[in-house]
Amino acid sequence: MRIFMNLCKDKLAIASLVFIAVLITAGLFAPVFAPHNPEEVNMSLRYAGPSWEYILGNDHLGRCILSRIIYGIRPSVLWVFAALFISVLIGSILGFLAGYFRGKNDAFIMKLCDVLLSFPGYVMALALVGLLGVGLENILIAFILIKWAWFARVIRTSVMQYAELDYIKFAKASGISHGKIIWKHIVPVTFSDIAVISSSSMGTMILQISGFSFLGLGVQAPQAEWGMMLNEAREVMFTRPELMLAPGLAIVLVVMALNFLSDSLQVALDPRLLNSNKGNQVMAPVSKIKIQEKEVPN
């Protein structure tokens, strides 16, 4: 509740939250919100400008751009959310195993993470897509396979911090089951760290995945996806540059909203940052890992 109150003080964060909520709703109920069928070709409306019927105009096949944007929320945002959720889940489970039980499991999991993190993530995603074949599912699978290691490592650090505390040791000594300790005492306190790191990767992931689609490695025509739409718009860039605007701005707005939200979340969870000039977080030794996460702003 306190976290929510803190978040409320930040108007920008509220605006971002509302924006993302609206976007998710629009994406989930795309058929209700979209005025037209996104794949309906109408050659008589090629490159038509905005009109009351087609608010954002029509593309090179006369399809409704607004409807394509709304349907595009699904692959561009919702599926990315899902992929992020899965990789955070894998990362959390392994992170908890490693950080709480330590010992051999820990050493093994961390070695595995080290190896995975020593690959440039973006290149590996590209290679996996190359092996699995072109398509959105394969891009998502590639990202899940690559990102979990980073989450596992950060979550392990966070879990270790709390697992060393006296009250956890006391709980262990008094014979409470491990499952119960983790669930009742460690999950709630590490949850904030997990929320911050996952929200901060969301924007990067949307950019990267839309970049793959832009290269033609993701969603295949005629399905609507923002990166894909930009790819199509690029073909006619010299004559119809305005087609680049709507999908591009959609990506910029979503990523900005997510980044604002992630920053505010960080402040809301750690009010110390608020007083000490937002964003001055002192460099932690994890910076080297951090930088790998912030890899590619495509």
Partner 1 sequence: MGSYIIKRLISAIPLLFIISLITFGLINLSPMDPAKVVLEAQGVPKITEELIAQTKADLGMDKPFIIRYFDWVVACLHLDFGTSYVTGKPVWSLIGPAFLNTLKLTTVSSAAIIVLSILLGVACALTAGRLIDKSVRGLSFFLTAMPSYWLASLLIWYFSVHLDLLPTSGMASVEHYILPVTVITVSYVGIYFRFVRSSMLSNLNEDYVLYGRACGLSEWKVTMHILRNSLQVAVSIFCMAIPIILGSTVVIENVFAWPGLGSLSVRSILNRDFPIIQAYVLILAAAFVLFNTISDIINAAMNPKLRNGL
Residues 6+ apart with CB under 8 A from 192: 3, 269, 270
Which residue of 31, 188, 271, 297 would you call a contact of partner 1, by CB under 8 A?
Answer: 297
The whole-angstrom separation of Cα 274 and Cα 282 is 14
For 227, other C-beta atoms within 10 Å of its C-beta total 27
Other C-beta atoms closer than 10 Å to the C-beta of 118 total 9
Q: Which of 44, 118, 174, 275 binds partner 1 (CB under 8 A)?
A: 118
Backbone angles phi, psi at 94, to 5 degrees: -70, -35
Amino acid in the structure at residue 164: E
Total residues at the site for partner 1 (CB under 8 A)? 54
Interaction between residue 275 and partner 1 (CB under 8 A)? no
Residue 57 contacts partner 1 per CB under 8 A: no
Tell me whether residue 190 or residue 266 sits nearer to partner 1 (CB atom): 266
Tokens read off for 203: 């924007």
Least gap, CB of 115 to partner 1 (angstroms): 5
In the complex, least distance from residue 201 CB atom to partner 1, rounded to whole angstroms: 13
Task: Draw the binding track, 189-228, toward partner 1 (x: CB under 8 A; -: no contact).
Answer: --------------x---x--xx--xxxx---------x-
Query: What burial class does residue 156 get, using C-beta atoms within 10 Å of its C-beta: 0-12 exposed, 13-18 middle, 19+ buried?
Result: buried
Q: Which of 7, 41, 90, 256: binder of partner 1 (CB under 8 A)?
A: 256
φ, ψ at 51 (rounded to 5°): -140, 175
Q: Let me know the angle formed at the C-alpha of 14 by 8 and 15, rounded to the nearest 5 degrees.
A: 155
Interface pick for partner 1 out of 128, 195, 273, 274 (rule CB under 8 A): 128
Q: Which span sits near partner 1 by CB under 8 A: 54-62, 65-73, 147-155, 229-237?
A: 229-237
- Give least dist CB 253 to partner 1, A: 8
* Per-position x/- string for 170-189, each x denoting binding to partner 1 as judged by CB under 8 A, each - no binding: --------------------
Residues in the chain: 298
Tell me which DSSP letter residue 241 carries: G
Please write down the HEC assignment for all residues of 181-240: HHHHHHHHHHHHHHHHHHHHHHHHHHHHHHHHHHCCCCCCCCCCCHHHHHHHHHHCCCCC
CB of 238 to partner 1, least distance (A): 5
Asked if 35 is part of the footprint of partner 1 (rule: CB under 8 A), the reply reads no
Q: 161-174 burial, b if ≥16 CB within 10 A, otherwise e? A: ebbeeeebeebeee
Q: Which of 140, 196, 255, 265 binds partner 1 (CB under 8 A)?
A: 255
Q: Which helix or strand (DSSP H or E) is residue 150 part of?
A: helix 136-163
Kindly give, in sequence order, each residue whose CB lies less than 8 Å from that of residue 230, ignoring residues fewer than 6 positions away.
210, 214, 244, 247, 248
**Least distance in Å: CB of 214 to partner 1?**
5
Among 133, 166, 173, 174, binds partner 1 (CB under 8 A): 133
> Which of 160, 189, 244, 269 touches partner 1 by CB under 8 A?
244
Looking at beta carbons only, is 188 or 241 nearer to partner 1? Answer: 241
Q: Which residues bind partner 1 (CB under 8 A)?
A: 115, 118-120, 122-124, 126-134, 203, 207, 210-211, 214-217, 227, 230, 233-234, 237-238, 241, 244, 248, 251-252, 255-256, 259-260, 277, 279-283, 287-288, 291-292, 294-298
